[in-house]
Amino acid sequence: MDTIYDFQTRTPSGKDLPLSAYRGKAVLLVNTATKCGLAPQFRELEALHQKYKDQGLVILGFPCNQFQNQEPELNETMEQSCEINFGVTFQLSEKIMVNGRETHPLFRFLKDQLPGKLGKRIKWNFTKFLISPEGIPVRRFAPTVKPASMEQYIIEILPDTN
């Protein structure tokens, strides 16, 4: 597997979500949690989504409850909670694991391609991976990196929409 297009996930309602649907788009993948101290980043992620979605940016949130149980929402209520509390309209997946034996295959791939300072582990919620329109992971951002500060890197890889 060489690109994110080889993977799929499910929406919170259980519908298949093949990442090949985002072929040709710049994609920002983020492991999220609604009760995390970094949850205000949802608003910045949504602002990037609104600003660049028509230019080929896709933001995908992957809720994870592995860090101090900071994602207590059920798959069934997660989208509504994110929309009401943070204004989120970008796509979320069902809850997944990002570390350990049951790591989602997509996150295993991302960590292999772009290890962080802790090696091939996700340090905390809101670790972000920027993916080129060819489906290749190009940059990893630490949880504390604010989405707005990533804008220049996103602009560099936006697909040519002309």
Catalytic annotation, residues: 36
Alpha carbons 88 and 142: distance in angstroms, whole number: 21
Alpha carbons 136 and 6: distance in angstroms, whole number: 11
Q: Which residues are 140's β-sheet partners?
A: 129
Place of tokens 């997944």: 96
| DSSP state letter for 119 | B
Place of tokens 């034996």: 101
Q: Are 33 and 3 in contact (CB under 8 A)?
A: no
Alpha carbons 41 and 10: distance in angstroms, whole number: 23
Q: Enter the tokens of residue 151.
A: 């804008």
Residue whose C-alpha is closest to residue 82's, from 122, 113, 134, 36: 36
